[in-house]
A = this chain, B = another copy of it.
Amino acid sequence: MQSNLAVEPADRSRAMLRERYAAVRALTATLAAPLSPEDQNLQSMPDASPAKWHQAHTTWFFETVVLRAHDPAYRVFDPAFAFLFNSYYEALGPRHARPRRGMLSRPDLRTVLAYRAHVDVAMQAFIPAAEAGALALIELGLHHEQQHQELLLTDIKHALSINPTHPAYLPPPPTLATTAPALDWIDHPGGLVEIGSGGGGFAFDNETPRHRVWLEPFRLATRPVSCGEYAEFIADGGYERAEFWLSAGWAAVQQEGWKAPLYWQDGEPGASGDWQAFTLNGLRPVDPAEPVTHLSFYEAAAYAAWTGARLPTEAEWEAVATALGTGDVVSFDPARPHPRAASGPGLRQMFGAVWQWTRSSYEPYPGFRPLPGAVGEYNGKFMVGQLVLRGSSCATPPGHARVSYRNFFPPDARWQFSGIRLARDV
C-alpha cells in the first residue's frame, strides 16, 4: 500500500542527480554573471579559454557524450558546435584551433546561453530514464563542468590582469587584518601505504587503481607557505641566485623576467614589503598572512630549496591527508575567489586555499586503464611533462575535490591558484 508512495533507490538517486545537475549548471551561470559579453569573449593566452567558450564547451560535453550517444530523442542544437566546442578529443573529430577560441564572436553569448538552456531541458528530460552507463557519464560531465568553473575564474583573472586599468571581476570586500598561525610539522613514519581511489564515490580514472607505495619517514608542513614568507625569499635574492633553481626553472626566470609571483607588482620598487597584487577584486596590497599563490612549480621548488626543505611527493601528501583527515571548513565565495589566511593550529588548508605543487610527475598509477571510448582521452593522454598538484583552491567549487584528487599542470604554469606546502626528510 505504501509502495506507490515509496521512491525506488534508483529513482531517488536519479532525482538527486537532476537536482545536482541543475545546481552545478546554475553555479556556472553565477560565476559568469558579472562579466560583459566582451569580457566573456577574451582569450589572453593559448592556455586560457574565454568564459563564453567554457560555458559552451561544458554544454557540448553533455550534448556529445550523453545526449547524442544515449538519447535517441535528442535534437542537435547546431551541428557546427561539434567543431567549435570540442576541446581535445581526437576520437570526436576535428576541432577549432585552441589559440583561436577568443576569435569566436559568433555564436554570440545569447546563443550560447540558449544552447545551455536547450541542453539543460533535454538533460532534465533524459536523466529519469538514463541507464547506468549514461548516468556515469553525466556524473563525469558534472565534475568536468566544475573543473571548467575553476578555469573560468583563473582564465578571466588572467585576461583582466593584462588590461592596464586593472579592472575588477567584482568589487572588493572589506579587508580583514589576518595573521597566519606558526608553521609546524606533522611526522609520518613511512612504510607501505595505500593511495588512490578505492571506489567509494566518484573519482577520475587517473586516481585509480588504488595501490601500495612504500614511503620513507618524512614530515609535512601544517599549512601552506604565506606571502610574507615568500617575500623574504624574494628579498634574499631568491630570483637572482641560480643555486636554488632547477635548470629549466632558472632558464624560465631569465627568459620570462620573473621577479615575483604572477600578478605581484611592487608599489615602491625595491621596498620588499610593499607588494601589490592583482586579484579578481582589483589591485590590492599583498596580505603577508595569506597563502602565497600563482607560483610555478619551478618557484615552489626553488623556495623549498631556499628553506632547506623540499616539496612532498603526491603519495606523501595523500598519506598524511588520509591518516589525519583534514579539518578544513572550506567556504567557497564566488564573489571573492582568493585564498585567505589559515586559522587555528593543526593540519590546515589541505583544501580550499591553494593547489599544492608536489614533487611528483604526472604518471599513470600501476595498472592504470583509461575509461573506454572517447572519454578515455580525458586524462591519460596528458601523462607526460606535467607535475601533480594536490588539494584544492579557493576557486575550486564545493564538493569537487577529494583526498585522492590529482590536478596537473606543466612546471611553468602560474595562472592557477597554485602554492606551496613544504615537506622534509626525517
Chain B positions within 8 Å of A163 at CB level: 103-106
Contact of A80 among B164, B382, B411 (CB under 8 A): B164
A213 at the interface (CB under 8 A from B): yes
Min CB distance A345 to B, Å, is: 28
User: How big is chain A's contact interface, by range?
Assistant: 35 or more
Min CB distance A86 to B, Å, is: 12
Chain B positions within 8 Å of A383 at CB level: 246
Bound-state Cα–Cα, A361 to B364, Å = 11
Given contacts A37-B37, A105-B38, contact A384 B248 (CB under 8 A): yes
From A52, A80, A103, A212, residue with most partner B Cβ within 10 Å: A103
Bound-state Cα–Cα, A39 to B108, Å = 9
Min CB distance A134 to B, Å, is: 23
A100 at the interface (CB under 8 A from B): yes
Min CB distance A79 to B, Å, is: 10
Instruction: Say whether A84 contacts B164, CB under 8 Å.
Output: yes
A363 at the interface (CB under 8 A from B): yes
Bound-state Cα–Cα, A295 to B233, Å = 41
Given contacts A42-B103, A90-B242, contact A381 B36 (CB under 8 A): no
Instruction: Say whether A41 contacts B44, CB under 8 Å.
Output: no
From A162, A247, A298, A360, residue with most partner B Cβ within 10 Å: A247
Copies in the complex: 4
Residue numbers of A with Cβ under 8 A of B are 36-42, 44, 52, 80, 83-84, 88, 90-91, 96, 100, 102-109, 159-160, 162-165, 167, 192, 211-216, 242-243, 245-250, 297-298, 301, 313, 359-361, 363-364, 366-367, 377, 381-385, 387, 411, 425
Min CB distance A35 to B, Å, is: 8
Instruction: Say whether B216 contacts A214, CB under 8 Å.
Output: no
Bound-state Cα–Cα, A247 to B377, Å = 9
Chain B positions within 8 Å of A367 at CB level: 216, 425
CB closest chain-B residue, reference A385: B248
Chain B positions within 8 Å of A301 at CB level: 384
Bound-state Cα–Cα, A250 to B382, Å = 11
Instruction: Say whether A105 contacts B214, CB under 8 Å.
Output: no
Chain B positions within 8 Å of A37 at CB level: 36-38
Chain B positions within 8 Å of A359 at CB level: 363-364
Instruction: Say whether B216 contacts A83, CB under 8 Å.
Output: no
Chain B positions within 8 Å of A247 at CB level: 88, 377, 381-382
From A38, A162, A243, A385, residue with most partner B Cβ within 10 Å: A38
CB closest chain-B residue, reference A78: B165
Instruction: Say whether B366 contacts A216, CB under 8 Å.
Output: yes
Min CB distance A84 to B, Å, is: 7
A100-B162, A250-B381 known; 6 other A-B pairs, CB under 8 Å? A42-B103, A105-B159, A106-B167, A246-B384, A359-B364, A384-B387
Chain B positions within 8 Å of A298 at CB level: 384
Contact of A214 among B36, B88, B159, B212 (CB under 8 A): B212
CB closest chain-B residue, reference A412: B385
Bound-state Cα–Cα, A215 to B42, Å = 47
Chain B positions within 8 Å of A214 at CB level: 192, 212-214
CB closest chain-B residue, reference A212: B214
Contact of A36 among B108, B167, B213 (CB under 8 A): B108
